[in-house]
Structure 1
Amino acid sequence: MKDALFQPIKLGSLSLQNRIVMPPMTRSRATQPGNSANDMMATYYAQRASAGLIVAESTQISALGQGYAWTPGIYSEEQITGWRKVTDAVHEKDGVIFAQLWHVGRVTHTANTGGEQPISSSALKAENVKVFIDNGTDEPGFVDVVEPREMTKEDIKNVVAEYRQAALNAIEAGFDGVELHAANGYLVNQFIDSEANKRNDEYGGAIENRLRFLGEVIEAMTDAIGADRVGVRLAPFTSLNGTVDKTPVETYTAAAVLLNKLNVVYLHIAEVDWDDAPDTPTVFKHNVREVYQGVIIYAGKYDGDKAEQAVKDGLADMIGFGRPFVANPDLPNRLRNGYPLAQHDPNTLFGGGEKGLTDYPEYQAD
């Protein structure tokens, strides 16, 4: 029995039934053309509504913000209507669901952006990074990303406005809130991390400058829908998609200070989760707890015992379980009762239909 994981918790004005988070996981099954959420996705999320909080898969805020084939957007009326199917299905099961708002920046190919050159903090191509495009089959075709152009001040203003509108669209679609994707090497992260940002204006150089874009996006979203409905995801120690910071503890502690000042409702930290990866430094976790007063979520290779201990230790308020939620729609019940976890099929993670999405069964006790 995992007592700490099953204590209720307040998230702004929301009351969550447990401390278990289903974090955002790209599944690339949006309806084509139009990149809209659909009935199949509604079933998938409703099956997992026993999580204390679901953060839906990364959802692009514009056509230029798309990095991969078949991912859903939230900038058209059709897309808003599609997401309404998902949020209605989750709410019917008494679940809570946030949208993750996403702009990939340079992590894309012109095949995914309607032929338009990608944008980023700087005109630096992400090295050794591939994305998948629709190559006319059901199998994603992987290609190298292309070089972006450096964003102008006008570009920055426009993208901030797109984030604001996406937050409003998410609420219109029935989401309980939104999470800004500022992690894993995507656009906001390309401003934050020193080695991806070579600007010499007020958006580059010193840590305060590199955090400016993050702050402006958050201010626009909280102004639109309220700070108690806005969370942020960061990935301080990963090098995913080619972004690296020289002083991650210093940079991301400063980010936590900023996000506390802006009153975001939660801070969601993606830990490095590949084999033999270093643990997130405990000093960093203590720093974050000291400077940030909202709900803190960690995700990355947690099992039930490790998650229980993290919450008991007080460094985390909630824990995200990514891949385990793919094959275990009833994951909270399995963790609560110590039931074995099913393993997911890696071949059905991206693209395709219901196989590998909605056909994983709940645990049947003998």
Structure 2
Amino acid sequence: MKLLEKTQLGNASLKNRMAMAAMTRGRTDSNGLVGDITAEYYAQRASAGLLFTESIRISEEATGSPLTPGIFTKEQIAAWKKVTTAVHDSGGVIVAQLWHTGRIGHSIDRNGKLPIAPSPLPIRGMRHYTSQGMKDFEIPREMSTMEIMQTIKDFGQAAKNAMVAGFDGVQLHAANGYLPSQFLAESANQRTDNYGGSIPNNSRFIVEVMQELISVAGGEKVGIKISPFHPYGDIVLEDPVASYTHLIEELNKLDFAYVELMRRSPHFPSPEHYVCEDEIAFFGRKIHQRVIANGGYDRDSAESELEKGIAALVSFGNLYIANPDLPERFEKNAALGKPDRATMFGGGEQGYIDYPFWNG
């Protein structure tokens, strides 16, 4: 199986072409500290060629949801060091996914402060999970140019902190409607300065964050995740093909390791004016870096994707929740466990580190 072949990604030697995608699990304490069960959770899944962490807040200002981890205090860095050590002791490779939620947040969990975003445009058609239950999204506060500059520096500092914590690399989360993708989309960005008003200006924030990450961590340790046709978070682009083609062309000028390319989710239908192209085939061929295909793959569809020769790896989300030994199960074509949806986004050990390994 191609899925089980060894490969190289940047400066990391991977035991197979399977990655565990980033998944929010909501199991930190109130200070954004991961605990011993998080170290065990990732170590259990170290047979993956590559592990992406759950999204990690780059700063206090980046906070969007309760009980999500950070990497901006000494205590948070020390907590993540236990995770990376556990993964490395288990023979794994682990990358920190760096996260700023932008307007996907609520003042309830931000010490009373409104979320910040490219423009003061609220998310429509959705509600937000907060520590006090589901709430309507608020009108975010528009970021000043100085705040944009500071946020770019915050990403760089988070990358430095990730290196101190022992991570093998960092990934910019520029998908799923969070701050970087908010800058790309006209539904979230109506600026008229250098960070809005045209496709090149809308792309500028992502490009400058990537330049910062590369300068801090080295391109061989840097990647990005994008989701061109995924409208989660009320993300609607006037011309997603033109916008993402330009972004990819700009990213192609930079020296970094990979692009994780997420397919649209059937749970979030794309706007009517979007094209019905296969993202991996359509955008993947334009990308100069190695491509990681993401989005609803199973054993057979992932193998088929690799056979096409565009993607070098495939990342899996839900399958890794209930199957910590997913590569072995794929190799043996064994039955797969099913995740408990009730414990996906919060709780303790149950539904987190208690899923059994295959014993066939």
Spell out, residue by residue over 1:65-88, the C-alpha distance to the aligned partner (whole angstroms, 9 max, x if none): 111110000100000011011100
Structure 1 equivalent of residue 250 of structure 2: 258
CA shift in 2, pair 1:276/1:188, >3 Å: closer
Are residues 238 and 172 of structure 1, via their aligned partners in 2, closer, same or farther at CA, if it must alter by over 3 Å? Answer: same
- Cα distance in 2 for residues equivalent to 1:211 and 1:27: 30
How far 1:288 moved relative to its partner? 3.1
Find 1:100's aligned residue among 97, 101, 113: 97
Q: How does 1:19-34 map to 2 (within 5 A)?
A: 19-32=17-30, 34=31
- Supply the AA of the counterpart residue of 2:339: H
TM-score using structure 2 length: 0.96
Match of 1:337 in 2: 332
Residue correspondence of structure 1 range 45-56 to structure 2 within 5 A: 45-56=42-53
The residue aligned with 2:63 is 66
- Residue equivalent to 2:179: 187
Query: Hey, what's the Cα distance between the residues in 1 that align with 2:60 and 2:5?
Result: 40
8 Å CA contact retained: 1:271, 1:280: no
**Hey, what does 1:245 align to over in structure 2?**
237
> Counterpart in 2 of 1:349?
344
Per-residue CA distance 1:213-268 (angstroms, 9 max, x = gap): 00111111111111111100101001101111121122112222222211221101
Partner Cα distance (2:175, 2:302) in 1: 21
1:6 maps to which residue?
4
Shift of 1:312: 0.8
**1:182-216 deviations in Å (ceiling 9; x for gaps):** 01111001001122211111111221110000011
Aligned to 1:138: none
Aligned 1:189-208 pairs, distance under 5 A: 189-208=181-200
> Does the 8 Å contact 1:65/1:113 carry over to 2?
no
Aligned ranges 1:1-366 → 2 under 5 Å: 3-32=1-30, 34-135=31-132, 141-275=133-267, 282=277, 284-365=279-360
Alpha-carbon distance in structure 2 between the residues aligned to 1:130 and 1:66: 16
Contact persistence 2:292–2:313 (CA under 8 A): yes
Q: Evaluate the alpha carbon distance shift between residue 174 and residue 124 of structure 1 in structure 2; reply closer, same or farther with a 3 A threshold.
A: same
Shift of 1:284: 4.8
Superposed displacement of residue 129, structure 1:
2.6
Q: Whole-Å Cα distance in 2 between the matches of residues 164 and 276 of structure 1?
A: 32
Q: Deviations over 1:321-342 (max 9, x none)?
A: 1000000000111111100111
Whole-angstrom distance in 2 between the partners of 1:248 and 1:8 = 34
Equivalenced residue count is 357
Q: In the TM superposition, what whole-angstrom CA distance separates every residue of 1:10-60 from its partner, at most 9, and x where no partner exists?
A: 11111111110101000000123x111110100000000011110000011
Q: Which amino acid aligns with 1:347?
A: A
Q: In structure 2, give the amino acid aligned to 1:48.
A: R
Q: Distance in 2 between matches of 1:277 and 1:110?
A: 29
In the alignment, residue 323 of structure 1 is paired with which amino acid? N
Counterpart-to-counterpart distance in 1, 2:5 and 2:201: 39
Residues 232 and 264 of structure 1 are in contact (CA less than 8 Å); yes or no, is this contact kept in structure 2?
no
Cα shift at 1:125: 0.6
* 1:139-171 Cα deviation digits (max 9, x unpaired): xx2222211111111010110110000000011
- The offset of 1:277, in angstroms, is 5.2
Q: Provide the rounded CA distance (Å) in 1 between the counterparts of 2:319 and 2:187.
A: 33
Secondary structure at the aligned position of 1:37 is classed as: coil
Unaligned 5+ segments in structure 2 are none
- The one-letter amino acid paired with 1:127 is R
Q: TM-score, normalised by structure 1?
A: 0.94
User: 1:281 Cα deviation (Å)?
Assistant: 5.0
Question: Aligned-pair distance for 1:291?
Answer: 3.0
- Give me the identity figure in percent: 41
State the alpha-carbon separation in 1 of the partners of residues 246 and 262 from structure 2.
Answer: 17
- CA shift for structure 1 position 275: 4.8
1:179: how far off? 0.6
RMSD of the alignment, in Å?
1.6
